[in-house]
């Protein structure tokens, strides 16, 4: 996992970590499996997990709309 070193460092500093995933990963019909994997790895890391379910941000080969992505990002930043 690319972000593992920073996550471990933040946890060591006792900073609460939330990992946000912008898609369920359902491109091949594996959304339920991917959700469980995501939740388990977040639990293992001691991080909160948030999985976004937005029809505009679907797993696959299509490029996401930048405005929709920014809107979801801004909403997540406002929450925390």
pLDDT tens, position by position, 7-58: 999 999 999 999 999 888 888 888 999 999 999 999 999 999 999 988 898 8
d(CA 6, CA 54): 27
d(CA 54, CA 17): 22
- pTM for the model stands at 0.81
Domain residue extents for the chain: 4-79
Q: What are phi and psi for residue 68, nearest 5 degrees?
A: -65, -40
């Amino acid at each position: 996992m690319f972000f593992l070193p920073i996550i471990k460092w933040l946890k060591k500093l006792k900073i609460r970590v939330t990992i946000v995933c912008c898609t369920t990963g359902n491109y091949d019909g594996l959304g339920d499996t991917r959700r469980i994997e995501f939740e388990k790895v977040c639990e293992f890391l001691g991080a909160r997990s948030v999985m976004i379910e937005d029809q505009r941000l679907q797993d696959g080969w299509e490029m996401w709309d930048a405005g929709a992505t920014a809107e979801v990002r801004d909403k997540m930043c406002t929450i925390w």
